[in-house]
Chain A
Amino acid sequence: MAVLLEKNFPVEAGAFTTAGEASTTIKRTLKQLGIGPEVLRRVSVACYEVELNLVIHSRGGTLTLLVDPEKVTLISKDVGPGIPDIEKAMTEGFSTASDEARTLGFGAGMGLPNMKRNASEFDIQSEVGVGTTITMSFALK
């Protein structure tokens, strides 16, 4: 089914002052579209995690929201640095967050596992020096 709605949100590396703004807009959009509470909640959690990952770990990137009648899709695409060991990164409790991020309450190592748990489908592709792309979809039916 063709994508009917697409919104792109550039996310800057290290921009803690604006962190979470893309998620807030995405939530508002989904509420206006009438997406049910259960899916909405899962998207909210995953969306915030992925947005914060862009802020904390990446060199900047874009968060994309796609909606079609079957599903909501979130794509996070950054320009590096890339994840050397995806399996390790997906392990609960593993984190490479900076001390700065940790003092702000991040870095519990639950980000990626949480995203995977909340999404209906989860895919992560990464190449060191190039970047990481995370695709998550949330089935509407």
Chain B
Amino acid sequence: MKEKRFHSVRLEGEKCRGCTNCLKRCPTEAIRVRGGRAHIIDERCIDCGECIRVCSYHAKVAVTDPLSSISQFKYKIALPAPSLYGQFSNLKSISQVLGGLKRMGFDEVYEVARGADVVSKAIQERLKDPKLPRPVISSACPAIVRLIQVRFPDLIDHIVDVRQPMEVAAMIARTEFARKHGVDPSEIGCFFISPCPAKVTAIRNPIGHTKSAVNGAISVLEIYGLLSSQLKNTPVDLTLEEASDLGVGWARSGGESMAVSPDNSMSVDGIENCIRVLEEIEDNRLKNLEFFEGAACTGGCVGGPLNFENNYVARSEIRKLTTRDAEPNLNVDAGMMTKYDLYMSGRILPNSAMKLDDDLMEAMRKMEKIEKLYNELPGFDCGSCGSPTCRTFAEDVVQGVATKMDCIHMMKDQLRVMAQQMVDLAKTTRE
């Protein structure tokens, strides 16, 4: 019995026109158009948000928590993703964003970029182990980790078992706040200010550990208006800025590599580009590479679909904000490395959603039928049948979720034959 998986990415049925935009862009072939509207195949969806970006009718949405949800907790901590800092033009200092969040009702603000500082160090520790298969793959982008679970199960061993910066930030923030104010940790709510739906899903369904330290995720878009209006009146207070430039740099593609392994790493952004490079890692072509950072979104987290500003603008804002440190250095207290669970507690498991059948013999039989049908199809990959390509359509027919006549080209051929038959019939029965 399969349990229903939580997904942040959802479809608002009444807005969907059944076009092929999302169908063609989904990297795990998780969307089908049936009965005139799109459906997401739960097991395959990795919450990357590509469909949200391409939907002209805004029928794809990300479910996040409203700002009002913070009131469930007595004490509220905001965990801003570093990409949030790139959303405002000509920010004098990151501290304005941090101070602004406090004015919005948070008791404390803890930078996820500080979590990134600690995570960078933890990954460096792991890289000292020569037994880890190379390249070591970043675990930071949950959409990429899920992509690997679905499409590259043989690369799971490459994924570094370090928790995400938002998890580490939440653990540290809660512990420090509880100690400083002498309150019960269970009364503290940690809320991630999220640029992306994949992180929202990662809070509800963590990968590699059972329970998230984060209590909720509020999208950047949700707070953008209110926060921007606070910035003018928020004084610069540099004591609030604790994360290093390297930690803040995680906001954009290449930032993590810079912080972790500047000498021998590769950063790739955009999910299709990541797929290409992952194929090469699979073929062992990049065995001399130390570290691979893949971000599903173009530009990295600044390109997340829940951001306000476009990723190029945000990227350049981040660059301006990360020129504070004379020398690039991670800001990590030695105690943090041992005090918190920085590493995953469970294994990352393959996701078998692409498998044709649990039984190999049956899978081979299906494969043969798929090949046969595929060869009859026109190969236009037009998507009119509701499957993204002719090949997936053949798979869907063999799996019993579509019928041959859903293909308009096969239907046309069939009609031609039938029309001829009717003509023939009419001729033979004429008196």
Contact = CB atoms under 8 A, between A and B. Distances in A.
A24 interface: yes
Chain A interface residue bracket vs B: 20 to 34
B413 interface: no
B105 interface: no
Given A31-B354, A34-B352, A37-B153, A20 B283 contact: yes
B171 interface: no
B355 A34 contact: yes
Nearest to A44: B282
A45 B353 CA distance: 23
Interface string B260-292: 000000000000000000010011110000000
B367 A32 contact: yes
A99 interface: no
A41 interface: yes
Interface in B375-423: 395
A140 B285 CA distance: 24
Nearest to A24: B279
A41 B152 CA distance: 9
A126 to B, nearest CB: 24
Interface string B104-140: 0000000000000000000000000000000000000
Contacts of B76: none
A33 B395 CA distance: 12
Nearest to A140: B360
A41 B363 contact: no
Given A24-B279, A44-B283, A34 B358 contact: yes
Contacts of A48: 283-285
Contacts of B358: 34
B213 to A, nearest CB: 29
Contact of A33 (B151, B157, B364): B364
A72 to B, nearest CB: 11
Interface string A112-139: 0010000000000000000000000000
Contacts of A40: 153-154
B355 to A, nearest CB: 4
Contacts of B352: 34
B156 interface: yes
B280 to A, nearest CB: 8
Contact of B282 (A7, A27, A33, A114): A27
B357 interface: yes
Interface string A62-90: 00000101000000000000000000000
Nearest to A20: B283
A41 B287 CA distance: 13
A47 B151 CA distance: 18
A31 B282 CA distance: 12
Interface string A1-39: 000110100000000000010011001010111100110
B367 to A, nearest CB: 6
Contacts of B357: 34
Nearest to B156: A37
B368 interface: yes
B149 to A, nearest CB: 10
Interface in B58-85: none
Contacts of B282: 27, 41, 44-45
B361 interface: yes
B99 to A, nearest CB: 48
B350 interface: yes
Interface string B327-369: 0000000000000000000000010101111101101110110
Contact of B154 (A4, A5, A44): A44
Contacts of B354: 31-32
B153 A67 contact: no
A45 B363 contact: no
Contacts of A69: 360-361
Nearest to B282: A44
Interface in A42-67: 44-45, 47-48, 67
A107 B146 CA distance: 34
A50 to B, nearest CB: 11
Contacts of B283: 20, 23, 44-45, 47-48
Nearest to B151: A31
Contacts of B365: 4
B349 to A, nearest CB: 10
A31 B365 CA distance: 15
Given A38-B154, A45-B284, A48-B285, A33 B350 contact: no
B284 A44 contact: yes
A50 B364 CA distance: 24
Closest 3 CB pairs of A and B: A48-B283, A41-B154, A37-B154
26 contacts: A4-B361, A4-B365, A5-B367, A5-B368, A7-B371, A20-B283, A27-B282, A31-B151, A32-B354, A32-B355, A32-B356, A32-B367, A33-B355, A33-B360, A33-B364, A34-B352, A34-B358, A34-B360, A37-B153, A37-B156, A44-B283, A44-B284, A45-B282, A45-B284, A67-B364, A114-B284
Given A27-B279, A32-B367, A48-B285, 14 more contacts: A5-B364, A5-B368, A7-B371, A31-B355, A32-B354, A32-B355, A33-B355, A34-B355, A34-B358, A41-B154, A44-B154, A45-B283, A48-B283, A69-B361
